[in-house]
C-alpha cells in the first residue's frame, strides 16, 4: 500500500502543472502560444488597460487565444489556427470565463446560466459581458473567431461571450459572413496551415446599456488578418480585411501592411508586426 502511494506521488510530481486559462502572458503557456505563427504574440492591444489574456479552454483542451478588454467587455482580438469544419450544429449555450469572476475558480469556460445558478448572489458580469446584455439589444453576438472555421469541439468553444462583440446584424449576416466563407475557400484550397487574428476597435462612447449602466462597448470596426503557409511551413499568402460595424455592410480588403496602417489610426503606440516577420519568407 505504501509502495502504491509512493508511486502515485512520483507520477503526480512529474505531471505538468495544470494552468488556468487566464494567464499573465501567452508566452507562459506553450499550448496556448501555438495559436500564434512562430509563437509571435502581436504588440497590438498589449497595453490595453485591464486586458486579460485568455487561453480558451473547453473539454480540457485549449482551442484558441483571446486578448480581452475587461473595461469595454469585448475582445481586443482572438487568435486561432484554421481547421476544416466537419459540420455540426450551432452550440445552444453561451459560455463565460469563470476566472474573470474569481481567479480561484475552474479553468474551463462554463455555461453562464449554470455558473450563475451554482453561485447564487455572485455577480458574473463585472469584468465580462453576459448573455442577457445582448438580449433585445438590436445587435448580434458577432463571433471574432468564427465557429465555421473549426470542427467540433473547437467549434463549440467559439461560443464564449469573451469571443463575441456587438455586431450590426446586417454586417454579421451578410458581408462579414461572406468574407469568412471566402477565407474558408482560400484556406482549404491553398493553405496547409492558416494563422488568423480577428479583432474589434472599440467606440469612444457607444454602448449596450442595461438599467442605465454601460455594459458592452459597441465597436466601430471589426478587422481580420491571416497568414497562410504551405506544406513546408513557408508563408505563401497573407492579407486582411476591415469593416465598419454599421449597415454599410462592406468589408475592405487589405494587405498586412495596409491593415497595420489602418490600425495605426486607432492607437498612440506602434502597431508592430501582427505575425512573425510580417508573414514573410
* CA distance linking residue 24 with residue 69, whole number of Å: 14
What pLDDT, on the 0 to 100 scale, is given for residue 19? 44
Contact 221, 245 (CB under 8 A): yes
What pLDDT, on the 0 to 100 scale, is given for residue 87? 80
Virtual CA dihedral for 94, 81, 144, 221, nearest 10 degrees?
170
Nearest Cα residue to 248 out of 135, 134, 182, 167? 167
Grid coordinates representing 63? 482551442
What pLDDT, on the 0 to 100 scale, is given for residue 3? 47
Q: What is the pLDDT of residues 117-139, one digit of tens each?
A: 999 999 999 999 999 999 999 99
Beta-carbon contacts of 37 under 8 Å, excluding residues fewer than 6 positions away, are 195, 227, 229, 275, 276, 279
Q: What is the pLDDT of residues 168-188, one digit of tens each?
A: 999 999 999 999 999 999 999
CATH class in words for 17-279: alpha beta
What pLDDT, on the 0 to 100 scale, is given for residue 281? 66
Domain-wise residue ranges, the chain: 17-279
Contact 77, 144 (CB under 8 A): yes
What pLDDT, on the 0 to 100 scale, is given for residue 107? 92
Q: What is the pLDDT of residues 238-258, one digit of tens each?
A: 999 999 999 999 999 999 999
Separation in Å, CA 173 to CA 179, 182, 252: 10, 14, 16
Tell me the three state secondary structure of residue 43. coil
Residues of the chain with pLDDT under 70: 1-20, 281
Task: Write the DSSP symbol of residue 16.
Answer: P
Amino acid at each position: 500500500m505504501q509502495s502504491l502511494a509512493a508511486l502515485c506521488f512520483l507520477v503526480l510530481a512529474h505531471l505538468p502543472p495544470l494552468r488556468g486559462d487566464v494567464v499573465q502572458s501567452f508566452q507562459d503557456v506553450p499550448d496556448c502560444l501555438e495559436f500564434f505563427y512562430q509563437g509571435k504574440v502581436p504588440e497590438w492591444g498589449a497595453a490595453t488597460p485591464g486586458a486579460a489574456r485568455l487561453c480558451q479552454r473547453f473539454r480540457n483542451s485549449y482551442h484558441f487565444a483571446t486578448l480581452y478588454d475587461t473595461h469595454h467587455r469585448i475582445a481586443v482580438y482572438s487568435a486561432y489556427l484554421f481547421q476544416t469544419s466537419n459540420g455540426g450544429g450551432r452550440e445552444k449555450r453561451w459560455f463565460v470565463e469563470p476566472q474573470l469572476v474569481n481567479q480561484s475558480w475552474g479553468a474551463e469556460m462554463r455555461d453562464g446560466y449554470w455558473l450563475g445558478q451554482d453561485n447564487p448572489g455572485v455577480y458574473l458580469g463585472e469584468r465580462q459581458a453576459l448573455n442577457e446584455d445582448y438580449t433585445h439589444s438590436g445587435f448580434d453576438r458577432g463571433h471574432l473567431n468564427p465557429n465555421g472555421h473549426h470542427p467540433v469541439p473547437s467549434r463549440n468553444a467559439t461560443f464564449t461571450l469573451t469571443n463575441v462583440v456587438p455586431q450590426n446584424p446586417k454586417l454579421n449576416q451578410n458581408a462579414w459572413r461572406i468574407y469568412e466563407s471566402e477565407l474558408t475557400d482560400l484556406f482549404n484550397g491553398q493553405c496547409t496551415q492558416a494563422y488568423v487574428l480577428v479583432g474589434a476597435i472599440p467606440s469612444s462612447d457607444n454602448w449596450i446599456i442595461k438599467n442605465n449602466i454601460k455594459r458592452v462597448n459597441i465597436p466601430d470596426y471589426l478587422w481580420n488578418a491571416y497568414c497562410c503557409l504551405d506544406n513546408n511551413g513557408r508563408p505563401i499568402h497573407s492579407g486582411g480585411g476591415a469593416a465598419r460595424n454599421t449597415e454599410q455592410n462592406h468589408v475592405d480588403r487589405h494587405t498586412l501592411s495596409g491593415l497595420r496602417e489602418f490600425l495605426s489610426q486607432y492607437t498612440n503606440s506602434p502597431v508592430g508586426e501582427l505575425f512573425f516577420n510580417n508573414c514573410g519568407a
